[in-house]
Structure 1
Amino acid sequence: MSTKEVTPRKTALVVGANGVIGRNLIEYLEQLPDWDIIGLSRRGGETNSRVRYVAVDLLNEKDTQEKLGNLTEVTHIFYAAYQDRPTWAELVPPNLAMLVNVVNAIEPISFSLQHISLMQGYKVYGAHLGPFKTPARETDAYHMPPEFNVDQQQFLEKRQLGTNWTWSALRPSVVCGFALGNPMNLAMVIAIYASISKELKLPLRFPGKPGAYNSLLEMTDAGLLARATVWAATDERCANQAFNITNGDLFRWNELWPKIAAYFDLELAPPLQMSLEVIMADKEPLWKAMVERHELVNNAYKDVSSWRFGDFVFSWDYDFFADGTKARRYGFHDFIDTEAMFLNIFEDLRQRKVIP
């Protein structure tokens, strides 16, 4: 008789289930047979045989306790929620409060809690403030606050002492993948900008700062990040560690931008610095006409355009990359070609009838 070992089931609580990170993490977990999945977001979602969605306002402590108070089966919290605010200081209270509310609701009732995974980014290294030390390493010193990524990690470090669960912090670069209504979605920014340029019979111009066209950057594919996140949450070597997670290659826009133009069958014109948030503000009527003419899915203009974030990324006139070798030393070896990543996402958006 076979004495085949049965893998114990795990239950993932994915916080921020509709964002580009959370959505792709859920898609990956759905492929793994030993995971049950609960997705949290403000909008909720359509529950299926593998994923149960819960609509919750994580800024409301009472609502969080009520909606999460019976989730005693949770073994892993994957925290990828984010609330946008106009200034760095204003980002701290809501983004720290949401994490605290989730942990306060789950930890006391889930006796089988094994791990809390925290999604961070290069803000830990001060990358958003200006030129920073590259390659950035997980051991680099923190910068002058405010910085919610650091506050969140320090909260977990203190909370974890004396408990049976561990934490990990994932630090991707700009995350690219499919998601709608996301304030930080660079691939969608480029796809919509290129599609509107084509509709207006214009060449494709890089809109960022002049120096940004030549800077050295890296990206993180959302699918690769999902695999890394589950790896770090389930490999005991990764307990209480932070990891930079990137595609594994570097690029400059001056080399990649012409290839993006070619994909959209557009002529290339010299870069011209312009604020996408400003010049694309009046394009909603044009977008609605494009949706009708090309028979696209009727997505609202605000859900497909993240112009403010595009301006932010295209303003980096300094090198923007980190050292990804720690994850490889600990056992994660996945990589992806960044050019292929962008073209695959654009093709996916076409297949989904998001863009013409």
Structure 2
Amino acid sequence: MDKVALVVGARGVIGTNLVEHLSSLPDWRVIGLSRRGGVDVPGRVRHVAVDLLDPDDTRAQLAGLSEVTHVFYVAYQDRPTWAELVAPNLAMLVNVVDAIEPVARGLRHVSLMQGYKVYGAHLGPFKTPAREDDPPHLPPEFNVDQQRFLEDRQQGKAWTWSALRPSVVGGVALGNPMNLAVGIAVYASMSKELGVPLRFPGKPGAYDALLELTDAGLLAKATVWAATAPAAANQAFNITNGDLFRWNELWPKLGAWFGLEVAPPLQLSLTDVMADKEPLWKEMQARHGLAATSFAEVSSWPFADFVFGWDYDFFADSSKARRVGFHEYVDTEQMFYDIFTDLRRRRIIQ
């Protein structure tokens, strides 16, 4: 066992799946960083609670991690505006690298998790398919600043970097603000409980737009590949499931999984209509013997509204990763079914 991963942001959708994947591999040990810490798995996974916005605490908590060989940075702090995202998200990455580089003498790689904000996808219609060498847009954009920091810091160093650019990530990690699949599952479960059909709640044009998603398990595999394949060093890669879909075809199938009829789309804000639904959630838990998850843990309504508001095509070209050597594929429809099945197994939904 000669590789030690430091997963920064180990409790989110991406981090949770990355920790699980790394710990399943025979030649890795894993150290997870997060604000809340976690439950250690002796000999495989160790969790460390740290405030990454505090450089002193970051240095103190990372001071003894001399064995780290690979840093996987997947942390994120949300803020109300795009400009406000820059300072905290850049600071956390800088604090981690400043703390780990002097102590981890065998450091080989720093992996950065990005997204389609690099292409301006969050601002409105953007060029599709987006490619890694597309020209940048006017700042602010913290993903770009983070990558520029790594590129500058890596000059003359023995370690390399990589940047992964997934679409919206599908996976199970409760308490995460960017979890579309869990939001759909809870929305569908409540629709069934209330005896109403499942309606697509987004903008009318969003129902017909061409989209793609990224499975969290596939993303974990791609992240480790990019961090260890010599041909992938010092590059960025779009990582997607490999297929495209439109909600107008997929949405009725998701409704059928829950045994629901699908009525015509009706634009509404899930953030608003779910504001009074916590009592209903508690009633459903009691009636159906569900796990005692708080409504806040399964609430990702602003993010769901954001995604369902994309009334423009939203996809990238992921062929670069395939050309360099990553060939995994996930069927997006099956990804949703697998996530729903996992939520049902955990008794999060009925």
After TM superposition, is the score higher than 0.5?
Answer: yes
Where does residue 3 of structure 1 map in the other structure? none
Where 2:198 maps in the other structure, the secondary structure is coil
Q: In structure 1, what is the Cα distance between the partners aligned to 2:145 and 2:275? A: 34
Where does residue 345 of structure 1 map in the other structure? 339
Q: Deviations over 1:84-105 (max 9, x none)?
A: 1110001111100100000000
1:207, CA displacement in angstroms? 0.2
Where does residue 187 of structure 1 map in the other structure? 181
Q: 2:38 aligns with which of 41, 45, 51?
A: 45
Q: In structure 1, what is the Cα distance between the partners aligned to 2:290 and 2:79? A: 31
Q: 2:234 aligns with which of 234, 237, 240?
A: 240
Where does residue 20 of structure 1 map in the other structure? 13
1:48, CA displacement in angstroms? 1.1
Q: In structure 2, what is the Cα distance between the partners aligned to 1:84 and 1:355? A: 27
1:315, CA displacement in angstroms? 0.3
Q: Is 2:244 the partner of 1:250?
A: yes
Where 1:101 maps in the other structure, the secondary structure is helix
Where 2:265 maps in the other structure, the secondary structure is coil
Where 2:339 maps in the other structure, the secondary structure is helix
1:289, CA displacement in angstroms? 1.1
What CA RMSD, in Å, does the superposition of the two structures yield over aligned residues? 0.6
Q: Structure 1: which 5+ runs fail to align? A: 1-7
1:211, CA displacement in angstroms? 0.0
Q: Which moved more, 1:251-260 or 1:47-56?
A: 47-56
Q: Which moved more, 1:311-320 or 1:290-299?
A: 290-299
Q: Is 2:327 the partner of 1:323?
A: no
Where does residue 209 of structure 2 map in the other structure? 215
Q: In structure 1, what is the Cα distance between the partners aligned to 2:36 and 2:19? A: 16
Which residue type is aligned with residue 204 of structure 1? L
Where does residue 190 of structure 2 map in the other structure? 196
Q: Which moved more, 1:324-333 or 1:284-293?
A: 284-293
Where does residue 4 of structure 1 map in the other structure? none
Q: In structure 1, what is the Cα distance between the partners aligned to 2:334 and 2:41? A: 31
Task: Give the 5 Å matches for 1:51-130.
Answer: 51-130=45-124
1:293, CA displacement in angstroms? 1.2
Q: Is 2:199 the partner of 1:205?
A: yes
1:305, CA displacement in angstroms? 1.1
Where does residue 161 of structure 2 map in the other structure? 167
Q: Structure 2: which 5+ runs fail to align? A: none
1:203, CA displacement in angstroms? 0.3
Which residue type is aligned with residue 286 of structure 1? L
Q: How many residues align?
A: 349
Q: In structure 1, what is the Cα distance between the partners aligned to 2:59 and 2:25? A: 29
1:206, CA displacement in angstroms? 0.1
Q: Deviations over 1:187-228 (max 9, x none)?
A: 001001000111111100000000000000000000000000
Q: Is 2:31 the partner of 1:29?
A: no
Q: Deviations over 1:111-143 (max 9, x none)?
A: 100000000000000000000000000000111
> Which portions of structure 1, spanning 4 or more consecutive aligned residues, are displaced by more than 3 angstroms?
none
Where 2:48 maps in the other structure, the secondary structure is strand
TM-score, scaled relative to structure 2: 0.99
TM-score, scaled relative to structure 1: 0.97
Q: In structure 1, what is the Cα distance between the partners aligned to 2:149 and 2:235? A: 14
Q: In structure 2, what is the Cα distance between the partners aligned to 1:40 and 1:170? A: 19
Which residue type is aligned with residue 40 of structure 1? L
Where 1:105 maps in the other structure, the secondary structure is helix
Where does residue 177 of structure 1 map in the other structure? 171
Which residue type is aligned with residue 176 of structure 1? G
Q: In structure 2, what is the Cα distance between the partners aligned to 1:149 and 1:282? A: 35
